[in-house]
Structure 1
Amino acid sequence: MRASLLLLLLTASTALAAPRTFRVDYFHTGNATEERFSLQRLVVEPLPWPGHLARTVDETNLGKYLFEVRDRQTNRLLYSRGFASIFGEWETTPEAKEVHRTFGESLRFPTPDRPVQVILKKRDAQNAFREVWSLVVDPKDPFVDPSSPPAPGPLFKLVESGPSSDKVDFLILGDGYTEAERPKFEKDARRLVDTLFATSPFKERKGDFNVWGLMPAAAQSGVSRPSTGVHRRPPLGSTYDAFGAERYILTFDNTALRETAAFAPYEFVEILVNGNTYGGGGIFNLFSTVAADSLWASYVFVHEFGHHFAGLADEYYTSAPIYGPAPADRVEPWEKNVTALKDPAQLKWKDLVSPGTPLPTPWNQAAYDAHALQVQQRRQKIRSERKPEAEMDALLLSQRDWEEKFLGTQKVSGKVGAFEGAHYESKGFYRPQADCLMFTRDRVPFCAVCQRGIREIIDLYAGPSAPQTRKSP
């Protein structure tokens, strides 16, 4: 079906039930010690708001930032969402201590019928939200742009479970695929979506999702990888080497991302990058990415979606860091799956701790760290010598095999506790279980704490699942 026709049908089917989607595009500028915000433009997107109008307020307490939309006349809270951003990550890098940079960002919410106050908040040093920017938005302002950019290509369904208002709408975008590679993108998207829904708790909640696919055609196959001298101009601007990390894939072109995604109902976005070098990325409530042809694409897809969808923290700590060290006086992280464990009696997942498990929970961290150091040294050598990707894959496979056996045979394997080593730090931060999909590339599930965090976000968008009824023996 042609994109324009599908867009018309989608619009007609939901126009009576929901307002259109309003978008505030703005610039986020600063460095490690200061930041400023400036309005870029106000946009009404072509499709209706995909979310449920009774589930507009976010009480999950997730995200480095939070925005609120309040009725200008009554100050009533109409909409709120926590999120993270590229700027929020970049400001913690060494580069941010030396230069200023600007990043494009967007806030999306149901189009109001009268003026509203949009309030942007950021966590302070104690993780409390404080207002950092505010603006009045009048939906009847003549400079609000309701026009539509050219359609990027046909929209197709990967999973359809019901009306958008009752489901999580997840959009898969392709970047670096030429028109001739469109069938490849669709095949890649279906393969990776199948992987996601084979993983708990997504497997059990598949009926709460709609998944869409959309691919703007690239003039040239592939995306940029500056560390090897490869530069491309894919439609969405995806690139390896974000923040100098060879495996980190992001797009810094917010306008291209938003104008493309506007042709689908969406709340979450994954960018499939047409490449085979290991890589990906994920930022809470922004987007996630994965190199579709990497041997590790299935793992990276699910891991990075955990960041994007539920704000899950990285639990690993042995990879080369791209962010600065945590302050000596660590505050409790906002992410649900890591803790500073200031007071074991107040552990945020205490209700899931296995009876009799000590806090902190002992494990053989010294042996794990020694093996991880060897792997990192070999990994750096492979990249510096520009060896074939097969050599990197072989190294990571051997690491996975060793870690699965090592972590799977600890006395506390499979139990929930508080294991030191998480959040890019070997000391001072703790994770819930010895192994987890957010800790290693091992063939293990999300830990119990991560699974609960994911279910909480599904409930926010699609409503709680029906309680399970136990059958009599």
Structure 2
Amino acid sequence: MKNKHYILLAVAAMMSMSAAAQRFEDYFQDKTLRIDYIFSGTATTQHIALEQMYVEPRWFGKRQRLAEVPVEGNGQITVRDHKTQRVIYRNSFSTLFQEWQEEPEAQHLEKSFENVYLVPMPKDTVDITVDLRNNRRQISSHLTHTVAPSDILIAHLGKKHVTPYVVLQQAQDTTHCIHLAYLAEGYRTEEMKTFVDDARMSMETLFSYEPFKSNRQFFNVVAVESPSQESGASEPGKGIWKNTALHSHWDTNYSERYLTTGHLKDMHDWLAGTPYEHIIALVNSTRYGGGGFYNGYLLASIHNQYAKPVVVHEFGHSFAGLADEYAYDDETVDIYPLDVEPWEKNITTKVDFRGKWENLIGKDKKAGFYEGAGYKPKGVYRAYYDCRMRTNQNPDFCPACRQAIQQLIDFYVK
């Protein structure tokens, strides 16, 4: 079964290579197709449903390596030309829904989750497939639907009522860069100056870390001023519920410091018409907490002593797909089976270590296999004793994580 799995991965890689040389303008318009899905299920079931599609005026994602993904993710969205079935675009992601399926609540309850994905607007009819993958890296559910760009039910967004935004940094080449948007959460209209200042401070912190510092010219950064009726975010454990732009809250999955939102459609409504692909939502609160999802978003409280390193840590998740490198001594979260190699490039079970940090072993005496990562004290390994993906106290990403982040940046812009 394992050999069959790797054969499938090899075939997928060959398909990606065959489409790598395609030109963006051959298949796509300079517009964004936003697709809203509902993922639902229990611990053992998954359902994917299409809810709504929108078209926005510009495309701010990748324009090269269109059919490739830099890392596998916990799910993928694939666009195929309807006539030829050639893969013309692919991206990967991770979701809160899949995390929730590992929670005790999922054993006896069915829940639904909003998920939003952006693909370039096709010139002709395409077939779009969304697939979710289990912790054994096998496709566990999928949905394929056909999209005709002439469909009159594809709604239009981003031309009128665009949320005001401030350009914090302009990339050297805005047509060939990584578009990052800071989004305000829990800031009232009169607090927007504070938000812009917070976003600028957060950006400067991010670019003080390597390899972001050395690649700063490739990032275009804006601060999107989405106003809330109330300051802060909801705190269910204290019985506090607030009316905010993203309806974010602590106590996600009953974890006190886990700060997320289930309102991803609202998030993308606020961003419609702004130059964005990667999203950092800053929460106007002094309480500690945050959360991040690969190619989804990160959400972090910004007014506490750990706010700066937390945002950087969560960006490691949301931008680069890095795994947490800490472990729980008194609890094992069973996300990483020990007989399957994780797709994340900064942890390993030693099942298939290729393409990770093997090039650092022997060259750096500190590089090796440190047991305890991916929430497990045994059987999952990290490359270095400490890292920004392990503790708030460590001042840097370890060389293995820096290497993985650099590979992501190169994938998008080089």
TM-score normalised by the chain length of structure 1: 0.78
Note the residue ranges of structure 2 that are not aligned, 5 or more in a row.
Answer: 1-27
Q: 1:348 corresponds to which letter in structure 2?
A: K
When residues 292 and 130 of structure 1 are mapped into structure 2, their CA distance, relative to the original with a 3 A threshold, is: same
* 2:197 maps to 1:187: yes
RMSD: 2.1
Quote the Cα distance in structure 1 between the aligned partners of 2:129 and 2:404: 26
When residues 347 and 286 of structure 1 are mapped into structure 2, their CA distance, relative to the original with a 3 A threshold, is: closer
Tell me if the contact between 1:114 and 1:139 (Cα under 8 Å) persists in the aligned partners. Answer: yes
What is the number of equivalent residue pairs in this alignment?
387
TM-score normalised by the chain length of structure 2: 0.89
Partner of 2:115: 105
When residues 158 and 286 of structure 1 are mapped into structure 2, their CA distance, relative to the original with a 3 A threshold, is: same
Partner of 2:306: 296
Partner of 1:140: 150
Indicate which of 174, 177, 182 corresponds to 2:187.
177
Higher strand proportion (structure 1 or 2): 2
When residues 125 and 304 of structure 1 are mapped into structure 2, their CA distance, relative to the original with a 3 A threshold, is: closer
Indicate which of 68, 87, 100 corresponds to 1:58.
68
Q: 1:21 corresponds to which letter in structure 2?
A: T
Q: 1:340 corresponds to which letter in structure 2?
A: T
Deviation at 1:347, TM superposition (A): 7.7
Mean Cα displacement is larger for which, 346-355 or 307-316?
A: 346-355
Mean Cα displacement is larger for which, 143-152 or 166-175?
A: 143-152
Q: 1:36 corresponds to which letter in structure 2?
A: H
Quote the Cα distance in structure 1 between the aligned partners of 2:71 and 2:293: 16
Partner of 1:361: none
Deviation at 1:330, TM superposition (A): 3.5
Equivalent position SS for 1:282: strand
Higher helix proportion (structure 1 or 2): 1
When residues 327 and 206 of structure 1 are mapped into structure 2, their CA distance, relative to the original with a 3 A threshold, is: closer
Deviation at 1:128, TM superposition (A): 4.0
Q: 1:140 corresponds to which letter in structure 2?
A: S
Structure 1 segment 382-393 matched on structure 2, within 5 A: none
Tell me if the contact between 1:152 and 1:216 (Cα under 8 Å) persists in the aligned partners. Answer: no
Partner of 1:376: none
Quote the Cα distance in structure 2 between the aligned partners of 1:44 and 1:347: 37
When residues 124 and 289 of structure 1 are mapped into structure 2, their CA distance, relative to the original with a 3 A threshold, is: closer
Tell me if the contact between 2:170 and 2:221 (Cα under 8 Å) persists in the aligned partners. Answer: yes
* 2:407 maps to 1:456: yes
* 2:349 maps to 1:348: no
Equivalent position SS for 2:303: coil
Quote the Cα distance in structure 1 between the aligned partners of 2:287 and 2:207: 24
Deviation at 1:62, TM superposition (A): 2.6
Higher CA-based Rg: 1
Partner of 2:346: 337
When residues 347 and 459 of structure 1 are mapped into structure 2, their CA distance, relative to the original with a 3 A threshold, is: closer
Equivalent position SS for 1:454: helix
Partner of 1:399: none
Quote the Cα distance in structure 2 between the aligned partners of 1:197 and 1:67: 30
When residues 416 and 117 of structure 1 are mapped into structure 2, their CA distance, relative to the original with a 3 A threshold, is: same
Tell me if the contact between 1:161 and 1:167 (Cα under 8 Å) persists in the aligned partners. Answer: yes
Structure 1 segment 224-235 matched on structure 2, within 5 A: 224-235=234-245
Equivalent position SS for 1:205: helix
Structure 1 segment 104-123 matched on structure 2, within 5 A: 104-123=114-133
Quote the Cα distance in structure 2 between the aligned partners of 1:185 and 1:295: 17
Deviations 1:57-81 (A, max 9, x none): 2332331001110000111111100
Tell me if the contact between 2:252 and 2:260 (Cα under 8 Å) persists in the aligned partners. Answer: yes
Note the residue ranges of structure 1 that are not aligned, 5 or more in a row.
Answer: 1-16, 358-414, 464-473
Partner of 1:435: 386
Deviations 1:240-272 (A, max 9, x none): 111111111111001101111113111100000
* 2:272 maps to 1:262: yes
Tell me if the contact between 1:176 and 1:217 (Cα under 8 Å) persists in the aligned partners. Answer: yes
Quote the Cα distance in structure 2 between the aligned partners of 1:35 and 1:51: 28
When residues 275 and 81 of structure 1 are mapped into structure 2, their CA distance, relative to the original with a 3 A threshold, is: same
* 2:49 maps to 1:41: no
Quote the Cα distance in structure 1 between the aligned partners of 2:205 and 2:336: 37
Tell me if the contact between 1:170 and 1:212 (Cα under 8 Å) persists in the aligned partners. Answer: yes
Tell me if the contact between 1:310 and 1:453 (Cα under 8 Å) persists in the aligned partners. Answer: yes
Deviation at 1:122, TM superposition (A): 2.7
Tell me if the contact between 1:151 and 1:260 (Cα under 8 Å) persists in the aligned partners. Answer: no
Identity of aligned residues (%): 33
Q: 1:434 corresponds to which letter in structure 2?
A: Y
Q: 1:51 corresponds to which letter in structure 2?
A: G
Deviation at 1:203, TM superposition (A): 0.3
